[in-house]
Structure 1
Protein backbone atom coordinates (compact mmCIF):
# COMPACT_ATOMS: atom_id res chain seq x y z
CA UNK A 1 0.00 0.00 0.00
CA UNK A 2 1.55 3.34 -1.05
CA UNK A 3 2.31 5.88 1.69
CA UNK A 4 -0.10 8.77 1.98
CA UNK A 5 1.41 11.95 0.58
CA UNK A 6 1.54 14.58 3.32
CA UNK A 7 1.34 18.22 2.28
CA UNK A 8 2.06 20.83 4.96
CA UNK A 9 -0.94 22.83 6.15
CA UNK A 10 0.94 26.03 5.38
CA UNK A 11 1.26 25.00 1.72
CA UNK A 12 -2.45 24.16 1.50
CA UNK A 13 -3.40 27.46 3.13
CA UNK A 14 -1.09 29.39 0.79
CA UNK A 15 -2.76 27.72 -2.17
CA UNK A 16 -6.17 28.55 -0.70
CA UNK A 17 -5.20 32.21 -0.28
CA UNK A 18 -3.94 32.31 -3.86
CA UNK A 19 -7.22 30.85 -5.17
CA UNK A 20 -9.17 33.27 -2.98
CA UNK A 21 -7.31 36.28 -4.38
CA UNK A 22 -7.50 35.13 -7.99
CA UNK A 23 -10.93 33.54 -8.24
CA UNK A 24 -12.91 34.36 -5.09
CA UNK A 25 -14.02 32.34 -2.12
CA UNK A 26 -16.39 30.15 -4.12
CA UNK A 27 -13.35 28.73 -5.94
CA UNK A 28 -11.71 27.61 -2.70
CA UNK A 29 -12.87 24.01 -2.60
CA UNK A 30 -11.08 20.80 -1.69
CA UNK A 31 -11.16 19.74 -5.34
CA UNK A 32 -9.79 23.09 -6.60
CA UNK A 33 -7.06 23.03 -3.95
CA UNK A 34 -6.07 19.52 -4.97
CA UNK A 35 -5.84 20.66 -8.57
CA UNK A 36 -3.82 23.74 -7.57
CA UNK A 37 -1.43 21.58 -5.53
CA UNK A 38 -1.24 18.82 -8.13
CA UNK A 39 -2.45 16.08 -5.81
CA UNK A 40 -5.57 14.15 -4.93
CA UNK A 41 -7.99 15.43 -2.29
CA UNK A 42 -6.63 12.92 0.24
CA UNK A 43 -3.61 14.99 1.41
CA UNK A 44 -5.91 17.93 2.06
CA UNK A 45 -8.28 15.79 4.11
CA UNK A 46 -5.27 14.50 6.07
CA UNK A 47 -4.57 18.10 7.17
CA UNK A 48 -8.13 19.41 7.48
CA UNK A 49 -11.37 17.72 8.47
CA UNK A 50 -13.18 19.68 5.77
CA UNK A 51 -13.81 23.11 4.29
CA UNK A 52 -15.11 24.58 7.55
CA UNK A 53 -11.83 23.93 9.36
CA UNK A 54 -9.81 25.10 6.36
CA UNK A 55 -11.84 28.32 6.18
CA UNK A 56 -11.34 28.98 9.90
CA UNK A 57 -7.59 28.73 9.41
CA UNK A 58 -7.68 30.75 6.17
CA UNK A 59 -9.30 33.77 7.84
CA UNK A 60 -6.29 34.80 9.99
CA UNK A 61 -3.98 34.27 7.01
CA UNK A 62 -6.19 36.54 4.88
CA UNK A 63 -6.28 39.19 7.64
CA UNK A 64 -2.47 39.09 7.94
CA UNK A 65 -2.20 39.55 4.18
CA UNK A 66 -4.59 42.50 4.42
CA UNK A 67 -2.67 44.09 7.29
CA UNK A 68 0.68 43.57 5.57
CA UNK A 69 -0.68 45.20 2.41
CA UNK A 70 -1.99 48.20 4.34
CA UNK A 71 1.25 48.65 6.25
CA UNK A 72 3.32 48.45 3.05
CA UNK A 73 1.06 50.96 1.30
CA UNK A 74 0.96 53.52 4.09
CA UNK A 75 3.55 56.26 4.33
CA UNK A 76 4.53 55.47 7.92
CA UNK A 77 3.59 51.78 8.19
CA UNK A 78 0.47 52.61 10.18
CA UNK A 79 -2.54 50.47 9.39
CA UNK A 80 -5.92 52.24 9.43
CA UNK A 81 -9.28 51.10 8.13
CA UNK A 82 -10.21 54.54 6.85
CA UNK A 83 -7.24 55.69 4.76
CA UNK A 84 -6.26 55.35 1.09
CA UNK A 85 -4.42 52.02 1.55
CA UNK A 86 -7.78 50.47 2.53
CA UNK A 87 -9.29 51.72 -0.73
CA UNK A 88 -6.27 50.57 -2.76
CA UNK A 89 -6.50 47.12 -1.17
CA UNK A 90 -10.13 46.89 -2.33
CA UNK A 91 -9.15 48.02 -5.82
CA UNK A 92 -6.12 45.74 -6.16
CA UNK A 93 -7.48 42.60 -4.44
CA UNK A 94 -11.26 42.86 -4.77
CA UNK A 95 -11.98 39.18 -4.16
CA UNK A 96 -9.97 39.12 -0.95
CA UNK A 97 -11.55 42.41 0.13
CA UNK A 98 -15.04 40.98 -0.46
CA UNK A 99 -14.14 37.82 1.47
CA UNK A 100 -12.91 39.84 4.43
CA UNK A 101 -15.46 42.64 4.49
CA UNK A 102 -18.52 41.85 2.39
CA UNK A 103 -19.76 38.40 3.39
CA UNK A 104 -22.61 37.78 5.79
CA UNK A 105 -21.19 37.56 9.33
CA UNK A 106 -17.68 38.39 8.08
CA UNK A 107 -17.08 40.98 10.80
CA UNK A 108 -17.92 38.56 13.59
CA UNK A 109 -15.38 36.12 12.10
CA UNK A 110 -12.53 38.61 11.68
CA UNK A 111 -13.30 40.98 14.54
CA UNK A 112 -10.63 39.54 16.87
CA UNK A 113 -7.99 39.93 14.17
CA UNK A 114 -9.07 43.52 13.41
CA UNK A 115 -9.30 44.67 17.03
CA UNK A 116 -5.60 45.61 17.34
CA UNK A 117 -5.83 47.68 14.15
CA UNK A 118 -9.00 49.39 15.34
CA UNK A 119 -7.67 50.01 18.85
CA UNK A 120 -4.43 51.59 17.55
CA UNK A 121 -6.52 53.93 15.38
CA UNK A 122 -8.84 54.79 18.28
CA UNK A 123 -5.84 55.57 20.52
CA UNK A 124 -4.39 57.78 17.79
CA UNK A 125 -7.69 59.64 17.37
CA UNK A 126 -7.90 60.11 21.15
CA UNK A 127 -4.44 61.70 21.19
CA UNK A 128 -4.87 63.87 18.10
CA UNK A 129 -8.33 65.23 18.94
CA UNK A 130 -8.13 64.97 22.75
CA UNK A 131 -11.33 62.97 23.01
CA UNK A 132 -12.30 60.02 25.17
CA UNK A 133 -12.28 56.42 24.02
CA UNK A 134 -16.02 56.23 23.33
CA UNK A 135 -15.97 59.35 21.15
CA UNK A 136 -12.80 58.22 19.34
CA UNK A 137 -14.36 54.81 18.69
CA UNK A 138 -17.43 56.49 17.19
CA UNK A 139 -15.23 58.76 15.06
CA UNK A 140 -13.23 55.74 13.88
CA UNK A 141 -16.40 53.92 12.86
CA UNK A 142 -17.72 56.97 11.00
CA UNK A 143 -14.47 57.33 9.07
CA UNK A 144 -14.33 53.59 8.36
CA UNK A 145 -17.96 53.56 7.21
CA UNK A 146 -17.19 56.24 4.64
CA UNK A 147 -14.00 54.55 3.42
CA UNK A 148 -15.72 51.17 3.34
CA UNK A 149 -18.56 52.50 1.20
CA UNK A 150 -16.07 53.81 -1.34
CA UNK A 151 -14.00 50.61 -1.19
CA UNK A 152 -17.08 48.42 -1.64
CA UNK A 153 -18.19 50.41 -4.67
CA UNK A 154 -14.74 50.05 -6.21
CA UNK A 155 -14.26 46.36 -5.30
CA UNK A 156 -17.59 45.41 -6.87
CA UNK A 157 -16.99 47.50 -10.01
CA UNK A 158 -20.00 49.63 -9.14
CA UNK A 159 -17.88 52.65 -9.96
CA UNK A 160 -14.40 53.36 -11.21
CA UNK A 161 -13.31 56.54 -9.45
CA UNK A 162 -9.74 57.64 -9.91
CA UNK A 163 -7.63 57.60 -6.76
CA UNK A 164 -7.16 61.37 -6.78
CA UNK A 165 -10.92 61.87 -6.49
CA UNK A 166 -11.13 59.18 -3.80
CA UNK A 167 -8.38 60.93 -1.84
CA UNK A 168 -10.32 64.20 -1.95
CA UNK A 169 -13.51 62.43 -0.88
CA UNK A 170 -11.76 60.82 2.11
CA UNK A 171 -10.14 64.11 3.13
CA UNK A 172 -13.45 66.01 2.86
CA UNK A 173 -15.23 63.40 4.94
CA UNK A 174 -12.51 63.34 7.60
CA UNK A 175 -12.58 67.12 7.75
CA UNK A 176 -16.36 67.15 8.19
CA UNK A 177 -16.31 64.45 10.89
CA UNK A 178 -13.41 66.01 12.84
CA UNK A 179 -14.48 69.65 12.59
CA UNK A 180 -16.24 69.52 15.96
CA UNK A 181 -13.05 68.36 17.71
CA UNK A 182 -10.75 71.01 16.30
CA UNK A 183 -10.66 73.99 18.60
Structure 2
Protein backbone atom coordinates (compact mmCIF):
# COMPACT_ATOMS: atom_id res chain seq x y z
CA UNK A 1 0.00 0.00 0.00
CA UNK A 2 1.42 3.44 -1.00
CA UNK A 3 2.34 5.88 1.69
CA UNK A 4 -0.34 8.46 2.46
CA UNK A 5 0.57 11.96 1.24
CA UNK A 6 1.60 14.28 4.06
CA UNK A 7 0.72 17.45 2.18
CA UNK A 8 -1.87 18.30 -0.38
CA UNK A 9 -0.90 20.17 -3.53
CA UNK A 10 -2.75 23.28 -2.28
CA UNK A 11 -0.74 23.34 0.96
CA UNK A 12 2.55 23.15 -0.92
CA UNK A 13 1.37 25.82 -3.34
CA UNK A 14 0.34 28.17 -0.50
CA UNK A 15 3.65 27.80 1.32
CA UNK A 16 5.56 28.30 -1.93
CA UNK A 17 3.50 31.42 -2.70
CA UNK A 18 4.37 32.84 0.72
CA UNK A 19 8.03 32.25 -0.10
CA UNK A 20 7.55 33.90 -3.51
CA UNK A 21 6.02 36.97 -1.89
CA UNK A 22 8.78 37.31 0.69
CA UNK A 23 11.88 36.28 -1.23
CA UNK A 24 11.12 35.91 -4.93
CA UNK A 25 11.22 32.84 -7.13
CA UNK A 26 14.94 32.18 -6.81
CA UNK A 27 14.58 31.08 -3.19
CA UNK A 28 12.01 28.47 -4.09
CA UNK A 29 13.95 25.26 -4.36
CA UNK A 30 12.77 21.82 -3.34
CA UNK A 31 15.19 21.88 -0.42
CA UNK A 32 14.11 25.36 0.82
CA UNK A 33 10.43 24.61 0.42
CA UNK A 34 10.81 21.27 2.19
CA UNK A 35 12.64 22.99 5.05
CA UNK A 36 9.78 25.50 5.36
CA UNK A 37 7.26 22.66 5.35
CA UNK A 38 9.40 20.71 7.82
CA UNK A 39 9.61 17.66 5.57
CA UNK A 40 11.80 16.10 2.91
CA UNK A 41 11.48 17.11 -0.78
CA UNK A 42 9.59 13.86 -1.51
CA UNK A 43 6.08 15.22 -0.73
CA UNK A 44 6.71 18.17 -3.05
CA UNK A 45 7.63 15.87 -5.93
CA UNK A 46 4.64 13.67 -5.21
CA UNK A 47 2.44 16.69 -6.03
CA UNK A 48 4.57 18.43 -8.69
CA UNK A 49 6.60 16.81 -11.42
CA UNK A 50 9.21 19.58 -11.19
CA UNK A 51 9.95 22.84 -9.44
CA UNK A 52 9.40 24.59 -12.77
CA UNK A 53 5.81 23.33 -12.77
CA UNK A 54 5.29 24.79 -9.30
CA UNK A 55 6.97 28.09 -10.21
CA UNK A 56 4.86 28.44 -13.35
CA UNK A 57 1.75 27.91 -11.24
CA UNK A 58 2.94 30.61 -8.80
CA UNK A 59 3.62 33.04 -11.64
CA UNK A 60 0.16 32.45 -13.10
CA UNK A 61 -1.41 33.12 -9.70
CA UNK A 62 0.60 36.31 -9.29
CA UNK A 63 -0.37 37.43 -12.81
CA UNK A 64 -4.04 36.95 -12.00
CA UNK A 65 -3.77 38.95 -8.78
CA UNK A 66 -1.94 41.69 -10.67
CA UNK A 67 -4.43 41.65 -13.54
CA UNK A 68 -7.33 42.00 -11.10
CA UNK A 69 -5.82 45.32 -10.03
CA UNK A 70 -4.95 46.51 -13.54
CA UNK A 71 -8.42 45.91 -15.03
CA UNK A 72 -10.39 47.36 -12.12
CA UNK A 73 -12.57 50.14 -13.57
CA UNK A 74 -11.58 53.08 -11.37
CA UNK A 75 -12.35 55.59 -14.14
CA UNK A 76 -13.75 55.53 -17.66
CA UNK A 77 -10.17 55.62 -19.04
CA UNK A 78 -8.60 52.17 -19.49
CA UNK A 79 -5.12 53.68 -19.83
CA UNK A 80 -5.47 55.45 -16.49
CA UNK A 81 -7.03 52.43 -14.79
CA UNK A 82 -3.95 50.39 -15.65
CA UNK A 83 -1.69 52.92 -13.95
CA UNK A 84 -3.91 53.18 -10.89
CA UNK A 85 -4.05 49.38 -10.74
CA UNK A 86 -0.26 49.07 -10.92
CA UNK A 87 0.12 51.55 -8.06
CA UNK A 88 -2.69 50.00 -6.00
CA UNK A 89 -1.03 46.60 -6.45
CA UNK A 90 2.22 48.12 -5.13
CA UNK A 91 0.35 49.61 -2.17
CA UNK A 92 -1.69 46.53 -1.23
CA UNK A 93 0.63 43.72 -2.33
CA UNK A 94 3.97 45.31 -1.38
CA UNK A 95 5.94 42.11 -0.97
CA UNK A 96 4.60 40.57 -4.16
CA UNK A 97 5.31 43.81 -6.07
CA UNK A 98 8.88 43.82 -4.75
CA UNK A 99 9.36 40.16 -5.61
CA UNK A 100 8.20 40.69 -9.19
CA UNK A 101 9.35 44.20 -10.05
CA UNK A 102 12.29 44.97 -7.79
CA UNK A 103 14.62 42.07 -8.44
CA UNK A 104 17.85 41.89 -10.37
CA UNK A 105 18.00 41.39 -14.12
CA UNK A 106 17.49 37.63 -13.86
CA UNK A 107 13.82 38.53 -13.49
CA UNK A 108 13.77 40.41 -16.80
CA UNK A 109 11.54 37.86 -18.52
CA UNK A 110 9.06 37.82 -15.65
CA UNK A 111 9.01 41.62 -15.47
CA UNK A 112 8.26 41.79 -19.21
CA UNK A 113 5.35 39.38 -18.79
CA UNK A 114 3.79 41.64 -16.18
CA UNK A 115 4.56 44.78 -18.19
CA UNK A 116 2.88 43.19 -21.21
CA UNK A 117 -0.28 42.55 -19.16
CA UNK A 118 -0.48 46.31 -18.60
CA UNK A 119 0.25 47.01 -22.26
CA UNK A 120 -2.56 44.72 -23.40
CA UNK A 121 -5.01 46.49 -21.09
CA UNK A 122 -3.87 49.93 -22.20
CA UNK A 123 -4.34 48.97 -25.85
CA UNK A 124 -8.04 48.49 -25.10
CA UNK A 125 -8.40 52.27 -24.68
CA UNK A 126 -10.34 53.22 -27.81
CA UNK A 127 -9.25 56.86 -27.65
CA UNK A 128 -5.86 55.79 -29.01
CA UNK A 129 -7.14 53.56 -31.83
CA UNK A 130 -6.33 55.97 -34.67
CA UNK A 131 -2.83 56.80 -33.51
CA UNK A 132 0.20 55.24 -35.19
CA UNK A 133 1.61 52.15 -33.51
CA UNK A 134 5.01 53.73 -32.88
CA UNK A 135 3.35 56.71 -31.17
CA UNK A 136 1.35 54.38 -28.92
CA UNK A 137 4.46 52.36 -28.06
CA UNK A 138 6.39 55.49 -27.09
CA UNK A 139 3.47 56.82 -25.04
CA UNK A 140 3.11 53.45 -23.31
CA UNK A 141 6.84 53.44 -22.49
CA UNK A 142 6.60 56.94 -21.00
CA UNK A 143 3.56 55.97 -18.94
CA UNK A 144 5.14 52.67 -17.88
CA UNK A 145 8.30 54.42 -16.72
CA UNK A 146 6.37 56.94 -14.65
CA UNK A 147 3.75 54.48 -13.38
CA UNK A 148 6.36 51.91 -12.43
CA UNK A 149 8.42 54.60 -10.71
CA UNK A 150 5.42 55.83 -8.73
CA UNK A 151 4.48 52.24 -7.85
CA UNK A 152 8.05 51.58 -6.67
CA UNK A 153 7.93 54.65 -4.43
CA UNK A 154 4.65 53.37 -3.02
CA UNK A 155 5.94 49.82 -2.46
CA UNK A 156 9.03 51.14 -0.68
CA UNK A 157 6.91 53.42 1.57
CA UNK A 158 8.16 56.72 0.14
CA UNK A 159 4.45 57.45 -0.20
CA UNK A 160 2.71 55.71 2.69
CA UNK A 161 -0.65 54.28 1.69
CA UNK A 162 -1.59 56.92 -0.88
CA UNK A 163 -5.23 57.04 -1.86
CA UNK A 164 -6.39 56.10 -5.33
CA UNK A 165 -7.31 59.77 -5.78
CA UNK A 166 -3.71 60.83 -5.05
CA UNK A 167 -2.43 58.19 -7.49
CA UNK A 168 -4.94 59.29 -10.12
CA UNK A 169 -3.93 62.95 -9.79
CA UNK A 170 -0.21 62.15 -10.12
CA UNK A 171 -0.77 59.89 -13.10
CA UNK A 172 -3.07 62.33 -14.87
CA UNK A 173 -0.81 65.35 -14.44
CA UNK A 174 2.23 63.45 -15.69
CA UNK A 175 0.35 61.66 -18.47
CA UNK A 176 -0.89 65.00 -19.78
CA UNK A 177 2.66 66.32 -20.01
CA UNK A 178 3.87 63.12 -21.70
CA UNK A 179 0.97 63.08 -24.14
CA UNK A 180 1.48 66.70 -25.16
CA UNK A 181 5.21 66.10 -25.62
CA UNK A 182 4.55 63.02 -27.73
CA UNK A 183 1.96 64.90 -29.80
CA UNK A 184 4.41 67.77 -30.38
CA UNK A 185 7.14 65.31 -31.41
CA UNK A 186 4.69 63.48 -33.69
CA UNK A 187 3.55 66.70 -35.36
CA UNK A 188 7.15 67.85 -35.86
CA UNK A 189 8.08 64.54 -37.52
CA UNK A 190 5.04 64.64 -39.83
CA UNK A 191 5.40 68.17 -41.17
**Could you tell me the TM-score, scaled by structure 1's length?**
0.73
Partner of 2:42 in structure 1?
42
Partner of 1:90 in structure 2?
90
CA contact (8 A) 1:81 1:118 kept: no
| Cα distance in 2, alignment partners of residues 114 and 65 from structure 1 | 14
Bigger mean CA deviation after superposition, 113-122 or 133-142: 113-122
Partner of 1:151 in structure 2?
151
The 3 A distance-change label for structure 1 pair 113 and 174 is closer
Deviation (angstroms), 1:79: 7.9
| Cα distance in 1, alignment partners of residues 58 and 65 from structure 2 | 11
**Could you tell me the TM-score, scaled by structure 2's length?**
0.71
Number of paired residues?
A: 181
CA contact (8 A) 1:60 1:110 kept: no
Partner of 1:59 in structure 2?
59
Deviation (angstroms), 1:52: 4.8
The 3 A distance-change label for structure 1 pair 9 and 110 is farther
Bigger mean CA deviation after superposition, 58-67 or 110-119: 110-119
Bigger mean CA deviation after superposition, 149-158 or 78-87: 78-87
Structure 1 stretches lacking a partner, 5+ long: none
Larger Rg: 2
Q: What does the per-residue CA deviation read over 1:9-38, in whole Å, with 9 as the maximum and x for residues that have no partner?
A: 4543233224434x3437755466457767
| Cα distance in 2, alignment partners of residues 40 and 8 from structure 1 | 14
Q: What does the per-residue CA deviation read over 1:98-133, in whole Å, with 9 as the maximum and x for residues that have no partner?
A: 1221222323135346535413413527x4373111
| Cα distance in 1, alignment partners of residues 180 and 67 from structure 2 | 29
Q: What does the per-residue CA deviation read over 1:22-65, in whole Å, with 9 as the maximum and x for residues that have no partner?
A: x3437755466457767653211223466455324322221112
The 3 A distance-change label for structure 1 pair 124 and 111 is same
Deviation (angstroms), 1:75: 4.7
| Cα distance in 2, alignment partners of residues 149 and 129 from structure 1 | 26
Deviation (angstroms), 1:89: 0.7
Deviation (angstroms), 1:162: 3.0
Partner of 1:162 in structure 2?
162
| Cα distance in 1, alignment partners of residues 154 and 114 from structure 2 | 24
Partner of 1:122 in structure 2?
123
| Cα distance in 2, alignment partners of residues 174 and 153 from structure 1 | 17
